[in-house]
Amino acid sequence: MQRAFFMNYFQIDDLKKKIVCAVLIFVGALLLGIGVAIVVERAQTERGITEQTSSQQDASNGQPSKIQQDEQVKKVALTFDDGPNPDYTGVLLDGLKERGVKVTFFVLGSEVELYPELVRRASEEGHLIGVHAYRHVNLRQLSDAQAIEQVDRTNGAIYRATGQYASYIRPPYGCWKEDLDYEVQMVEVLWDIDPRDWATTSSNLVVQRVLNEVEENSIILLHDASKSSVQAAFTIIDTLQNQGYTFVTVEELLLE
Ligand code: NI
């Protein structure tokens, strides 16, 4: 009775049709699913290839890598001795800031104590502070103890002004007692080009002397002690920047 009812209700042909229909829907859904999966997979692969290609282009055809840039940069270092100077160091710092240039100051301890704010400003603006001496004396003519005192007093003044001790020394006249290197734990830095800026009021003369001699990695000696020296420094910077030079501190030059 139940079976008869079942057969009657669905009709055998009808049931077959329904089964075929269900199978077709199932297979269709399966094929659709596979199709969607393939399309998504292909899209992801293509995007991956595109990203890979564009990053390769960045590396090869676009901007040069950091290492390539470093190799291309011609570095040069300006150094200023005998400061800080109340009349000229501030003007110099203004011009350096305008030009985005970092330099090195080898300062006298006695002047640091008089004008600590200039040394603090120089340090805060990214310039390197080194020791010249406490007073402008020839350290070789002093006893070891006196020479060390000249360095230590200067370094103390630098520390009080900037919160940091100096690591580099350029002794007055380039005269240092090398056997004290270990004692004072400092690196001596001399120079490659001395245009004798202190002996002239002509900034053009100073500029010409420097430009005649300058080459990659030159350390240039100047003094932030006169208007002509500061003007010469600005002209040297503007000229050499146009020639592709970058101005760095002596530390950056020596750490190469
Ligand atoms: Ni000097």
Residue 26: band (very low, low, confident or very high) from pLDDT cuts 50, 70, 90:
low
Residue 249 Cα, ligand 1 centroid: separation in angstroms? 18
At a CB cut-off of 8 Å and minimum separation 6, what does 203 contact? 227, 228, 229, 231, 232, 235
Residue 172 Cα, ligand 1 centroid: separation in angstroms? 5
**Is the pLDDT higher at 13 or at 58?**
13
High-pLDDT (> 90) share of the chain, %:
67
Mean pLDDT value across residues 106-129: 98
Tokens of 126: 């990214």
106 and 79 Cβ atoms separated by less than 8 Å: yes
Residue 80 Cα, ligand 1 centroid: separation in angstroms? 9
Residue 136 is a catalytic residue: no
pLDDT in tens, 47-106: 444 444 444 444 444 444 555 555 578 999 999 999 999 999 999 999 999 999 999 999
Residue 5: band (very low, low, confident or very high) from pLDDT cuts 50, 70, 90:
very low
- Among 82, 197, 223, 224, which one carries the catalytic annotation? 223
Q: In angstroms, what CA-CA distances link 201 with 110, 172, 195, 213?
A: 25, 21, 12, 20
Instruction: State the pLDDT at residue 170.
Output: 97
Residue 97 Cα, ligand 1 centroid: separation in angstroms? 24
Residue 35: band (very low, low, confident or very high) from pLDDT cuts 50, 70, 90:
low
Instruction: State the pLDDT at residue 53.
Output: 40
- Among 81, 82, 197, 224, which one carries the catalytic annotation? 81
pLDDT in tens, 151-206: 999 999 999 999 999 999 999 999 998 888 878 899 999 999 999 999 999 999 99
Q: Cα separation of 208 and 216, whole Å?
A: 17
180 and 217 Cβ atoms separated by less than 8 Å: no
Residue 112 Cα, ligand 1 centroid: separation in angstroms? 14
pLDDT for 4 beyond 60: no
Greatest CA separation for the chain: 131
- Full-model pTM: 0.73
Residue 224 is a catalytic residue: no
pLDDT in tens, 223-251: 999 999 999 999 999 999 999 999 999 99
Residue 198 Cα, ligand 1 centroid: separation in angstroms? 10
> CA geometry: angle at 126 spanning 181 and 114, to 5°?
70
Mean pLDDT value across residues 17-25: 60
Helix, strand, coil % (nearest 5) of the chain? 60, 10, 25
Which helix (H) or strand (E) is 95 found in, with range? helix 89-99
The whole-chain average pLDDT of the chain stands at: 84
Residue 163 Cα, ligand 1 centroid: separation in angstroms? 24
Give the residue ranges of DSSP H helices in 100-143: 109-114, 116-124
